[in-house]
């Protein structure tokens, strides 16, 4: 029987010119997709692998919000599924026109669904698996595709993404802040971006970095560093300077390679000075200047080769307040803060074109840009332009909920969006948590639904304790970084606006603290007096410390799950790092494994006969080869993570205070035992532990382990 496929003209020609195996593999899947789509592009891209582009029609826009063409990858093998099918990419001339949220994979392989689910979680793209053999009746094809799309687009919780956003399609709002930061950099000025934790600073800085690197009018080399990494927070200033040079070098080499240029700058002066145990700041600064000038010269040469008018070096230092000199455990940074920034800014001023080098810092506490004197020394960052990233305005918050919700079959009414903003304001993380709560209220919905204001309020009440815990976590970080502001906020929440005069009337700097809180979006001014901006913030502050064991048990169980998740993410990030030997010449660079070597090294490091592991070693190997390292880690347990953290200790990017290897691993092991009490409902021993050490202490030390891995 002739297979009926809805082809566009060019796609039909390409299909008919393909070899017989490709046509035989693709025809059943394309016929199935033709129930709802038209095939507008087709190519055979490898042995038993083909690709196509299909344009939606019918009710797909109404039901799933699908308006743009969708990329399809077909896998013809019946007994094996390789990740190469997922790694296929559309041609560049088509990519900009395709829907970035979803793609189809056509395969009858049983492992395809699990592999695609793991891959989609890592790449923030929904993958709808079409199995042509599962729908033999052409009359049922449309209903089958609706079920596949519904399972892919509606069941996956797209609100529960916790990593900084880097894809353009996922970056919502904040454009004015992006343009403000970019304007300063392009104008040759350094800038600081400040705001509460998880307000979106890292996402915004990442967006700025991507735009700079994509600028066709300039050769821009960027480097992104984290001040709360153990390597930097417990290291010396010259390590940070060395990492900065190495990052710039890597980006210039990559840009030159992409342009077909033979420019390969070398940075060795500072590395040689460090290896020679030179600790004289002037000599290290001179070595840093030689290397920076060499990099800038290489970038300018590449700009001339590629007919671009400008070249610049930009360094992003996020979590910069972990390197402030007045921190309780500042260590070397009591002096190194001044050595680092005096060196960086002096070298920049000495350049013929200082505007070609810019520094962007990000953090919570703006003291780095606003405090003229620090510990009796002139603050080198004083007068750096501070930009405060406030919560989203109502329109951006509505766009976030509507855009993500539409992809999941959740249509928010105007009243629902207004209700959400009145409950959690414009805090992206709280908005996402609210979206997750709404989604969990009906995860198996078979069609798109309309979300009303009443459903928003009900979802908030259902998960209110989780919202309060999130606010408490955010304020705990504020307390560590900006204690005066946190104390003022707490007094305003418990004593009302009158506390501003009654308790803080004679406190020097209270206006500055209140102004900072307003810029964080935590307070609003009423008759020149600050008041807490949202009820959820006041409720979190007023909530009594957990006194009942059941509440303590719940909090510890949630914390234990978050620690395990942090370990898994840390291992997935660091064990996948690949640094070519040629690029690892500076001291401290880590040379990683290839993907296959990393997988085998991981499996060789853990016992093959663990009692509580659901999958065999061969099954783990199969999952790793088809879906990558992250999917393997998701199949392991806490005991395995402990083994891997010990085995690959030197490859892990630890965060927080510096600790000896044995002390850190012992702390992780001890906290694992405590977490097991909560995770396995051992209430008797957990109650005894809390009675002995106190709930606050148990919670603190488990949180400390999570922070080691979180970053």
Considering the domain architecture, whether residues 505 and 378 belong to the same structural domain is answered as: no
Count the helix, strand and coil residues of the chain and give each as a percent rounded to the nearest 5.
55, 10, 30
Q: What is the mean pLDDT of the chain?
A: 84
pLDDT digits (tens, 9 = 90+) for 134-155: 777 778 888 888 888 877 776 6
pLDDT higher for 581 or 470?
470
Cβ 255 vs Cβ 219: under 8 Å: yes
pLDDT digits (tens, 9 = 90+) for 363-388: 988 888 888 889 889 999 987 889 99
Task: Measure the CA–CA gap between 289 and 295, rounded to whole angstroms.
Answer: 10
Task: Measure the CA–CA gap between 283 and 366, rounded to whole angstroms.
Answer: 31
Q: By mean pLDDT, which of 75-89, 434-448, 546-560 is the weakest?
A: 75-89
pLDDT for 358 equals 95
Task: Measure the CA–CA gap between 530 and 540, rounded to whole angstroms.
Answer: 18
Considering the domain architecture, whether residues 116 and 184 belong to the same structural domain is answered as: no
**SS3 sequence of 1-13:** CCCCCCECHHHHH
pLDDT higher for 598 or 424?
424
Helix residue ranges per DSSP H, 326-393:
333-350, 367-370
Which of the residue ranges 484-493, 635-644, 671-680 has the most confident prediction, judged by mean pLDDT?
Answer: 484-493
Considering the domain architecture, whether residues 530 and 560 belong to the same structural domain is answered as: no
Considering the domain architecture, whether residues 484 and 621 belong to the same structural domain is answered as: no
pLDDT greater than 70 at residue 587: no
pLDDT greater than 70 at residue 664: yes
Of the pLDDT bands very low, low, confident and very high (cuts 50, 70, 90), residue 504 is very high
Considering the domain architecture, whether residues 445 and 491 belong to the same structural domain is answered as: no
Q: Which of 462, 479, 508 is the last residue of a domain?
A: 462
Strand partners, 659: none
Q: Does residue 300 belong to any structural domain of this protein?
A: yes
Q: Which of 462, 488, 517 is the last residue of a domain?
A: 462
Q: Which of 462, 487, 515 is the last residue of a domain?
A: 462
Q: Does residue 439 belong to any structural domain of this protein?
A: yes
Considering the domain architecture, whether residues 508 and 609 belong to the same structural domain is answered as: no
Query: How far from each other are the two terminal CA atoms of the chain, in whole angstroms?
Result: 59
pLDDT digits (tens, 9 = 90+) for 298-312: 999 999 999 999 999
Considering the domain architecture, whether residues 18 and 109 belong to the same structural domain is answered as: yes
Number of other residues whose CB lies within 10 A of the CB of residue 10: 12
Q: Does residue 618 belong to any structural domain of this protein?
A: yes
Number of Cα atoms under 13 Å in the Cβ half of residue 691:
6
Q: Does residue 634 belong to any structural domain of this protein?
A: yes
Helix residue ranges per DSSP H, 544-652:
549-575, 595-605, 617-627, 629-634, 638-647
Q: Does residue 162 belong to any structural domain of this protein?
A: no
Considering the domain architecture, whether residues 632 and 519 belong to the same structural domain is answered as: no
pLDDT for 84 equals 61
Considering the domain architecture, whether residues 61 and 183 belong to the same structural domain is answered as: no
pLDDT higher for 579 or 68?
68
Q: What separation in angstroms does the CA of 219 have from each of 101, 256, 259, 353, 673? A: 30, 10, 11, 15, 51
Considering the domain architecture, whether residues 486 and 536 belong to the same structural domain is answered as: yes
Domain count, the chain: 5
Considering the domain architecture, whether residues 45 and 119 belong to the same structural domain is answered as: yes
pTM of the model: 0.71
Of the pLDDT bands very low, low, confident and very high (cuts 50, 70, 90), residue 584 is very low
Which of the residue ranges 15-19, 253-257, 638-642 has the most confident prediction, judged by mean pLDDT?
Answer: 253-257
Bridge pairing between strands 449-451 and 523-526? unpaired
Here the CATH number for the domain that contains residue 209 is 3.40.50.300
Task: Measure the CA–CA gap between 632 and 498, rounded to whole angstroms.
Answer: 56
Here the CATH number for the domain that contains residue 480 is 1.10.10.10
pLDDT for 609 equals 57
pLDDT greater than 90 at residue 291: yes
Considering the domain architecture, whether residues 283 and 193 belong to the same structural domain is answered as: yes
Rounded to 5°, angle at Cα 623 from 622 and 628:
120
Cβ 568 vs Cβ 633: under 8 Å: yes
Q: Where are the beta strands (DSSP E) in 342-476?
A: 357-363, 373-374, 377-378, 385-388, 410-412, 449-451
Convert 547-563 to b/e letters by CB count within 10 Å (16 or more is b): eeeeebbebbbebbebb
Q: Does residue 598 belong to any structural domain of this protein?
A: yes
Q: Does residue 161 belong to any structural domain of this protein?
A: no
Could you list the residue range(s) of the whole structural domain that residue 88 is in?
Answer: 9-153
Q: Does residue 2 belong to any structural domain of this protein?
A: no
């Amino acid at each position: 029987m002739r297979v009926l496929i809805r082809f566009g003209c060019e796609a039909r020609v390409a299909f008919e010119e393909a070899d017989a195996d490709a046509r035989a593999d693709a025809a059943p899947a394309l016929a199935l997709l033709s129930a709802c789509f038209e095939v507008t592009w087709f190519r055979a891209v490898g042995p038993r692998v083909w690709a196509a582009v299909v344009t939606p029609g019918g009710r797909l826009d109404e039901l799933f919000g699908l308006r743009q063409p969708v990329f399809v990858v077909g896998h013809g093998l019946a007994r094996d599924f390789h990740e190469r099918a997922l790694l296929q990419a559309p041609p560049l001339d088509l990519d900009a026109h395709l829907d970035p949220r979803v793609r189809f994979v056509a395969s009858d392989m049983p492992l395809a669904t699990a592999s695609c689910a793991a891959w989609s979680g890592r790449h923030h793209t929904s993958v709808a698996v079409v199995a042509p053999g599962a729908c033999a009746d052409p009359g049922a094809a449309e209903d089958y595709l609706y079920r596949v799309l519904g399972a892919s687009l509606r069941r996956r919780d797209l609100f529960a993404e916790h990593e900084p956003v880097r894809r353009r399609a996922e970056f919502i709002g904040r454009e004015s802040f992006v343009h403000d930061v970019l304007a300063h950099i392009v104008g040759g000025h350094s800038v600081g971006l400040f705001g509460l934790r998880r307000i979106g600073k890292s996402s915004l800085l990442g967006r700025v970095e991507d735009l700079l690197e994509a600028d066709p009018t300039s050769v821009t080399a960027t480097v992104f560093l984290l001040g709360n990494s153990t390597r930097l927070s417990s290291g010396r200033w010259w390590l940070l300077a060395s990492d900065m040079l190495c990052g710039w070098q890597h980006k210039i080499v990559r840009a030159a390679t992409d342009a077909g240029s033979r420019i390969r700058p070398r940075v060795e002066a500072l590395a040689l000075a460090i290896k020679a145990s030179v600790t004289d700041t002037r000599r290290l600064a001179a070595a840093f200047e030689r290397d920076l000038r060499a990099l800038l010269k290489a970038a300018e040469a590449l700009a001339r080769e590629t007919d671009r008018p400008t070249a610049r070096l930009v360094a992003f230092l996020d979590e910069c307040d972990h390197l402030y000199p007045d921190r309780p455990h500042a260590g070397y940074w009591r002096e190194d803060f001044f050595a680092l920034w005096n060196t960086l800014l002096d070298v920049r001023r000495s350049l013929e074109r200082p505007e070609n080098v810019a520094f962007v810092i990000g953090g919570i506490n703006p003291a780095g840009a606003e405090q003229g004197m620090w510990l009796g020394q002139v603050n080198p960052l004083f007068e750096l332009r501070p930009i405060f990233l406030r919560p989203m305005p109502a329109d951006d918050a509505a766009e976030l909920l509507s855009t993500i919700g539409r992809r999941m079959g959740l249509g928010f009414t105007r009243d629902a969006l207004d209700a959400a903003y009145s409950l959690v304001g414009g805090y992206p993380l709280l908005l996402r948590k609210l979206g997750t709560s709404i989604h969990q209220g009906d995860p198996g919905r078979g069609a798109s639904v309309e979300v009303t204001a009443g459903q928003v309020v009900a979802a908030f009440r259902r998960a209110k304790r989780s919202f309060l815990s999130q606010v408490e976590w955010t304020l705990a970080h504020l307390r560590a970084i900006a204690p005066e502001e946190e104390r003022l906020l707490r007094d305003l929440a418990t004593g009302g606006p009158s506390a501003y005069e009654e308790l803080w009337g004679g406190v020097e700097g209270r206006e500055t603290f209140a102004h900072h809180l307003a810029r964080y979006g935590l307070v609003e001014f009423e008759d020149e007096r600050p008041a807490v901006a949202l009820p959820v913030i006041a409720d979190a502050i007023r909530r009594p410390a957990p006194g009942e064991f059941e509440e303590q048990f719940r909090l510890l169980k949630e914390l234990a799950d978050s620690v395990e998740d942090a370990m898994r993410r840390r291992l997935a990030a660091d064990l996948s790092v690949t640094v070519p030997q040629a690029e690892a010449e500076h001291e401290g660079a880590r040379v990683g494994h290839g993907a296959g070597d990393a997988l085998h090294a991981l499996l060789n490091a853990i016992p093959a006969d663990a009692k509580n592991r659901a999958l065999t070693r061969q099954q783990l190997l199969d999952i790793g080869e088809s879906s990558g390292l992250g999917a393997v880690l998701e199949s392991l347990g806490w005991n395995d993570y402990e083994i891997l953290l010990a085995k690959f200790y030197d490859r892990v990017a630890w965060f927080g205070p510096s600790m000896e290897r044995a002390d850190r691993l012992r702390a992780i092991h001890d906290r694992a035992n405590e977490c097991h009490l909560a995770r396995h409902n051992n209430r008797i021993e957990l109650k005894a532990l809390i009675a002995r050490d106190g709930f606050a202490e148990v919670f603190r030390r488990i949180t400390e382990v999570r922070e080691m891995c979180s970053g």
